[in-house]
C-alpha cells in the first residue's frame, strides 16, 4: 500500500502508446524513402520521426490541457525511444548522454527552422531546411519539395482532426500522395 504513494501513475499511458505507434508508423511509410528523397538510414529515419513529431507538436500546441499533456508525454517517449536505439546500436553508456544532448539539440533546431517556414506557408523555405537537415553532406541541393508539400498536407490533415481524436491518441497522418 505505501509503495503506491511513491510510484508515478500515468493514466495516459495507453493513449500515449497508441498515438506514438501511429506517429512512428507514419514516419516509416515506405513512400517517404522511396519517392520523397529521404535516405533509408538511421539518420533518415530520425529525420522523419522528428518531422512527424514536429507536426504532432504543432497540432497540439493549441489543444486543451489533455492534448498538451499527451504531446509532452509523446515527446518524452520519442526521446526514450532514441535513447534505446542509441544503446541498441552499441553506443557505450558513457557516450549516450552526449549523443542524446546532440540529438535533442538537432530536434529542437529543426522544430524552430520548420516552424518558421510552416508558419509563413513557405514551401520553398521548408524544402530548403529539409534538404539542409536530411542531406547535410550533399554537394548539390536535393529536391525536397515533395516532402515539404506532404508536411503541409499532413499539418492540414492533423488540424482537421477533432480534439477528441487528439485526446484519445487516435490522430493519424495522411499517406504520401
Per-residue H/E/C for 23-44:
HHHHHCCHHHHHHCCCCCCHHH
How many whole angstroms separate alpha carbon 131 and alpha carbon 138?
9
pLDDT in the model for residue 85: 79
Total number of domains constituting the chain = 1
- Which domain range does residue 120 map to? 2-168
Cβ-count burial 94-124 (b if 16+ within 10 Å, e if not): eeeeebeeebeeebeebbebbbebbeeeebe
Q: Is the pLDDT of residue 7 over 60?
A: no
Does residue 79 fall inside a structural domain?
yes
At 76-105, the pLDDT tens digits run 898 888 888 777 777 777 777 787 788 888
Does residue 174 fall inside a structural domain?
no
Does residue 177 fall inside a structural domain?
no
Does residue 175 fall inside a structural domain?
no
Cell numbers standing for residue 167: 485526446
Residue partners of 133: CB distance under 8 A and separation at least 6? 47, 106, 110, 113
How many whole angstroms separate alpha carbon 5 and alpha carbon 1?
8
Q: Is the pLDDT of residue 15 over 60?
A: yes
* Alpha helices (H) along the chain: 13-27, 30-35, 42-60, 65-88, 96-119, 123-134, 145-159, 163-167
- Tell which wins on pLDDT, 7 or 169: 169
Do 23 and 74 contact (CB within 8 A), yes or no? yes
Does residue 139 fall inside a structural domain?
yes
Average pLDDT over residues 143-165: 96
pLDDT in the model for residue 1: 45
Q: Is the pLDDT of residue 10 over 70?
A: no
Does residue 67 fall inside a structural domain?
yes
* pLDDT confidence bin for 67, thresholds 50/70/90: confident
Q: Is the pLDDT of residue 6 over 50?
A: no
pTM of the model: 0.85
Specify the residue for cell string 528523397: 37
Does residue 156 fall inside a structural domain?
yes
Q: Is the pLDDT of residue 5 over 70?
A: no
Lowest mean per-residue pLDDT among 8-17, 39-48, 56-65, 147-156 = 8-17
Do 62 and 41 contact (CB within 8 A), yes or no? no
Amino acid at each position: 500500500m505505501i509503495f503506491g504513494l511513491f510510484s508515478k501513475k500515468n493514466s495516459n499511458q495507453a493513449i500515449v502508446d497508441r498515438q506514438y505507434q501511429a506517429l512512428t508508423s507514419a514516419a516509416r511509410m515506405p513512400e517517404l524513402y522511396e519517392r520523397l528523397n529521404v535516405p533509408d538510414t538511421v539518420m533518415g529515419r530520425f529525420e522523419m520521426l522528428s518531422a512527424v513529431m514536429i507536426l504532432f507538436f504543432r497540432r497540439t500546441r493549441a489543444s486543451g490541457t489533455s492534448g498538451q499533456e499527451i504531446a509532452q508525454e509523446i515527446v518524452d517517449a520519442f526521446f526514450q525511444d532514441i535513447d534505446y536505439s542509441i544503446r541498441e546500436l552499441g553506443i557505450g553508456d558513457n557516450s549516450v548522454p552526449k549523443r542524446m544532448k546532440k540529438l535533442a539539440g538537432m530536434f529542437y533546431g529543426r522544430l524552430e527552422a520548420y516552424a518558421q517556414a510552416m508558419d509563413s506557408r513557405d514551401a520553398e523555405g521548408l524544402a530548403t531546411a529539409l534538404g539542409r537537415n536530411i542531406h547535410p553532406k550533399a554537394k548539390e541541393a536535393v529536391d525536397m519539395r515533395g516532402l515539404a508539400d506532404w508536411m503541409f498536407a499532413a499539418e492540414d490533415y492533423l488540424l482537421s482532426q477533432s480534439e477528441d481524436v487528439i485526446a484519445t491518441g487516435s490522430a493519424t497522418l495522411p499517406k504520401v500522395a
